[in-house]
Chain A
Amino acid sequence: MPGKSKSSKQMAMGTGKELSRAWKFGDDIDTDAIIPGRFLTINDPNELAKHAFEGVRPDFKPAEGDVVVAGENFGCGSSREHAPLALKGAGIKCIIAKSFARIFFRNSINIGLPMLECKDVGRISDGDILEIEGITIRNLTKNETYSTTPLPGFLREIVESGGLIEYARALVAKKHKGKKHK
């Protein structure tokens, strides 16, 4: 549906809010499916993005601001950070799933790729147009609203400081300063 992905870039009339096309996947989507092993020598998100879901979903051509919607255990398997990086590079602004696999969850928090845990993903179909505001999802295609589970406070702190790199940077600076005073 090439036409649809374009329309997701439009802004909602009058609100200025970004609309996102949903790219729908099933349960247990593994990181080999997101980015196959042969591309792991690539470290650039934009280059990785060209191979996202290659082999399992050739039509995956998201527009900037689109979202991935999946079932349980999204991102299971390998620890490759190349997986969330490829999705981020492809312009995916958020991943909505029933649940996330642990290392993928860590990696996405760390690189600042937002995730929303939502029980109602079964109601979202491929190609639906969503409007995401904070932790609320509005499905404009189906005229429905879904709530999501907020992140625990500790993790929000990391996300709000701009990801783990910035969080760690502040800690290193603090440590350094402490040493100077001694």
Chain B
Amino acid sequence: MSNDLTITEKIFSRAAGKPVRAGDFVMASIDTAMTHDITGPLAVEGFYEIMRDEKEKKVWDPEKIIILFDHQVPADSLNAAKNHILLRKFAKEQKIKHFYDLHEGICHQVMPEKGHVLPGQLVVGSDSHTCAYGALGAFGTGIGSTDMAAVFALGKLWFRVPETIRFEVNGKLGDRVYSKDIILKLIGDVGADGARYKACEYGGKAIKALDVSQRMTISNMAIEMGGKAGIIEPDKTTEAYVRQRSKGYKLDKDLKSDKGAEYSEVREYDVSDMPPQVACPHNVDNVVDIGKIEGKKLDQVFLGSCTNGRFEDLKIAAKIMDGRHIAKGIRMIVIPASRAEYMKVLEAGLVEEFMNAGAIVESPCCGPCMGGSFGLLGPGEVGLSTSNRNFKGRQGSPDAFVYLCSPATAAASAIKGKITDPRSV
């Protein structure tokens, strides 16, 4: 066995305080832990259960825990309000330094945006899309509430160091084709469990060419093929983004997979001629070229989520809509992913554009993506969404149908009232 390591093995070796390889079980030190209003209450309950015989019931490090509300904001039910009260109380009691109430936005946008994620870190979140932080070269991974309870108490958690699948993506994306189309293509190919228990590592010219916003989309959806992380080796683009948030940050040149690193699989792609992609009901891996599904009549278009709710996404959509009104009989919900993104959207005049087009613009939150709040689909309705999941019942009725796509495809489809190739409008 060579001494060459994947970036994942390097991160775990540091976090475990000893050299480790894929397949090893470790207790690893956590750099940052994030929890939110849905999975947080159970974590708090578990924490006090762990500490029940301790006199001092203190979390391991109040500066390394981030708590925020994003799934049900403003509180949409009495139970949600009670959960918010519980977490506010916990944050105060434990002197949690970074507690964001309902105003800041979706966790996976706020975390990198506020500088809570650095390349090379081991970051856990009690949310499955925590793999999004791989966009910055961190090993971000989703865990459960009891896991989080243990992290609160110990600052450590058990892991099996994962094998890595390398996705080598080359070529140059065509006009109105984006990173969302790349990741949908990959998921369609490997399937919903093709990367189960594994780290997905994305590289190649097409990935290098992406800005951080588009990288986040790709990393975010690693979980949709079962991945434990969706990591992109940090480069100059990453460094520039991180330096704006974490002064003096310098790129560690060794923070990448070594040349002879062992991969469980290497998959190569050329995306130069790839058309926009759409995931059809009811699985994210049910992916087709847009030509196969064009013309499907829609009831609702949702533009937002941690996958595609950034300023860049909304700008792409607005540009394609180009002052045109959404089609008669359909509704469009636009939700910027965070307060900061909302402000950018506002300043650029996009809120006005969307509203003039007949869309509604909501305050930052998960919105219809979590399917428990608002913007739900009724029985028989068809929704097109820039979010990350289209499971049966995910966005409301189990008898509704959800299609997933890029912001460009969502925008083109909104003005036509049916699934539309963004290159055709």
> What is A's interface to B at a CB cutoff of 8 Å?
27-28, 30, 32-33, 36-43, 55-56, 72-73, 76-82, 85, 99, 101-103, 106-107, 110-111, 152, 154-155, 158, 163-165, 167-169, 171-173, 175-176
Contact between chains at A102 and B197 (CB < 8 Å): yes
- Report how far A72 CA is from B145 CA in the complex, Å: 24
Q: Is B410 part of the contact surface with A, judged by Cβ < 8 Å?
A: no
- Report how far A27 CA is from B282 CA in the complex, Å: 13
- Report how far A106 CA is from B51 CA in the complex, Å: 21
In the complex where A32-B391, A79-B144, A107-B144 touch, is A38 in contact with B371 (Cβ < 8 A)?
Answer: yes
Contacts of B370 in A (CB 8 A): 37, 40
Contact between chains at B391 and A41 (CB < 8 Å): no
- Report how far A154 CA is from B27 CA in the complex, Å: 10
- Report how far A158 CA is from B372 CA in the complex, Å: 33
Contact between chains at A172 and B153 (CB < 8 Å): yes
Can you list the 6 inter-chain pairs with the closest CB atoms, starting with the nearest?
A41-B79, A55-B398, A73-B193, A37-B372, A107-B144, A37-B371
Contact residue among A56, A80, A102, A164 (Cβ-Cβ distance under 8 Å from B393):
A56
Contact between chains at B193 and A42 (CB < 8 Å): no
Contact between chains at B150 and A164 (CB < 8 Å): yes
Contacts of B150 in A (CB 8 A): 110, 164-165, 167-168
Contact between chains at A36 and B393 (CB < 8 Å): yes
Known contacts A39-B372, A40-B38; 5 further A-B pairs (Cβ under 8 A) = A28-B193, A32-B392, A80-B39, A85-B42, A110-B147
In the complex where A41-B80, A42-B79 touch, is A81 in contact with B144 (Cβ < 8 A)?
Answer: yes
A-B contact pairs, 27 of them (CB 8 A): A28-B283, A33-B392, A36-B371, A37-B394, A38-B371, A40-B372, A41-B82, A43-B42, A43-B83, A56-B398, A73-B193, A77-B128, A78-B389, A79-B127, A80-B38, A85-B42, A102-B197, A102-B226, A107-B144, A110-B147, A163-B146, A165-B149, A168-B149, A169-B49, A169-B50, A172-B51, A173-B53
Can you name the residue of chain A whose Cβ is closest to the Cβ of B52?
A: A169
Q: How far in angstroms is the closest Cβ of chain A from B170? A: 29
Q: Is B188 part of the contact surface with A, judged by Cβ < 8 Å?
A: no
- Chain B contact patch, size range: 35 or more
Contacts of B38 in A (CB 8 A): 40-41, 80
1/0 per residue B195-211: CB within 8 Å of A? 01100000000000000
Contact between chains at B142 and A99 (CB < 8 Å): no
Which residues 374-403 of B sit at the A interface, judged by CB distance below 8 A? 389, 391-394, 397-398
Contact residue among B49, B72, B128, B158 (Cβ-Cβ distance under 8 Å from A154):
B158
Contacts of A102 in B (CB 8 A): 196-197, 226, 228
Contacts of A171 in B (CB 8 A): 153-154
- Report how far A172 CA is from B38 CA in the complex, Å: 26
Contact residue among B144, B154, B196, B228 (Cβ-Cβ distance under 8 Å from A73):
B196
In the complex where A41-B79, A106-B144 touch, is A169 in contact with B193 (Cβ < 8 A)?
Answer: no
Q: Is B175 part of the contact surface with A, judged by Cβ < 8 Å?
A: no
Q: How far in angstroms is the closest Cβ of chain A from B304? A: 16
> What is B's interface to A at a CB cutoff of 8 Å?
25, 38-39, 41-42, 45-46, 49-54, 71-72, 77, 79-80, 82-83, 126-128, 130, 142-147, 149-150, 153-154, 158, 160, 192-193, 196-197, 223, 226, 228, 283, 370-372, 389, 391-394, 397-398
Contacts of A80 in B (CB 8 A): 38-39
Contact residue among B50, B126, B192 (Cβ-Cβ distance under 8 Å from A165):
B50
- Report how far A78 CA is from B393 CA in the complex, Å: 13
Contact between chains at A28 and B398 (CB < 8 Å): no
Contacts of B128 in A (CB 8 A): 77-79, 103
Contacts of A30 in B (CB 8 A): 389, 391
- Report how far A168 CA is from B51 CA in the complex, Å: 9
Contact between chains at B144 and A32 (CB < 8 Å): no
Can you name the residue of chain A whose Cβ is closest to the Cβ of B388?
A: A77
Q: How far in angstroms is the closest Cβ of chain B from A150? A: 15
Can you name the residue of chain A whose Cβ is closest to the Cβ of B193?
A: A73
Contact between chains at A76 and B192 (CB < 8 Å): yes
Contacts of A73 in B (CB 8 A): 192-193, 196, 226
Q: How far in angstroms is the closest Cβ of chain B from A155? A: 8
Can you name the residue of chain A whose Cβ is closest to the Cβ of B227?
A: A102
Contacts of B143 in A (CB 8 A): 79, 103, 106
Q: How far in angstroms is the closest Cβ of chain B from A160? A: 14
Contact residue among A56, A101, A111 (Cβ-Cβ distance under 8 Å from B193):
A101
In the complex where A32-B389, A102-B226, A154-B158 touch, is A81 in contact with B146 (Cβ < 8 A)?
Answer: yes
Contacts of A55 in B (CB 8 A): 392-393, 397-398
Contacts of B25 in A (CB 8 A): 152, 154-155
Contacts of A36 in B (CB 8 A): 371-372, 393, 398
